[in-house]
Amino acid sequence: MAPEFVPSRNVSIKLYIFSYGVVLLEIVSGLRNRCLDPNAQEENLPNYGWKVWNEGKHINLVN
């Protein structure tokens, strides 16, 4: 579940789609979505995946 939805408990179909995408990205990449703090230095998995995709190195994301 996306961390921004936890305090408000605002659950919608978009939340389920986002969560499914993150789980699918974790399975394909073999990495975990570790960053729950938006102010942390560590990059979360969806942002990392998007960065790799934009660089054209998306094949490196697949393990």
Q: Could you give the CA distance from residue 62 to residue 26 in angstroms, rounded to a whole number?
A: 10
Instruction: State the sign of the Cα–Cα–Cα–Cα dihedral 44, 47, 42, 32.
Output: positive
pLDDT (0 to 100) of residue 38? 62
pLDDT (0 to 100) of residue 5? 58
**Single-letter amino acid, residue 22:** V
Number of structural domains the chain divides into: 1
**Paired tokens of 58:** 């998306």
**Paired tokens of 20:** 């499914």
Q: Could you give the CA distance from residue 29 to residue 41 in angstroms, rounded to a whole number?
A: 21
pLDDT (0 to 100) of residue 49? 87
When pLDDT is cut at 50, 70 and 90, the band that residue 2 belongs to is low
Q: Which domain holds residue 8?
A: 3-61
- Give tens-digit pLDDT for 3-62: 655 666 667 787 788 888 889 999 998 888 876 666 667 778 888 888 888 999 888 888
